[in-house]
Amino acid sequence: MKKITDEEFFMKNSELSTEFSRYVLEHPEMDDILTEDKIAIFLPEFDSKLKEFNVKMAKEIEAEGGKVIYVKVKQLSPKVTSRLVGVEVGV
């Protein structure tokens, strides 16, 4: 079984961060909860290794005096490459 590298965890967290940014744009009420002094830590229920990695990282941040906000994610929808429909390109 292959060991997951920190880089792979970074890439997975980057994807979750991008999707969370989209979510926040659609839910302005999140502005009251999210502040610049807190770091979002993702707890993906569908990826136990990433969740474990992130909990460890959160504890390190808190031990150093940082503040975190936990974002539980039950699942990710399949990727949509583009939302454009009926595209015609002319030359």
Which amino acid, one-letter code, is at 1?
M
Q: pLDDT digit string (tens) for 30-80?
A: 877 888 889 999 999 999 999 999 999 999 999 999 999 999 999 988 877
What six digits make up the tokens of 16?
Answer: 């979750």
Q: Domain locations in the chain?
A: 6-73
pTM, two decimal places: 0.79
Q: What is the pLDDT of residue 86?
A: 81
For residue 75, give Cα distances in angstroms to 34, 58, 67, 71.
21, 20, 25, 12
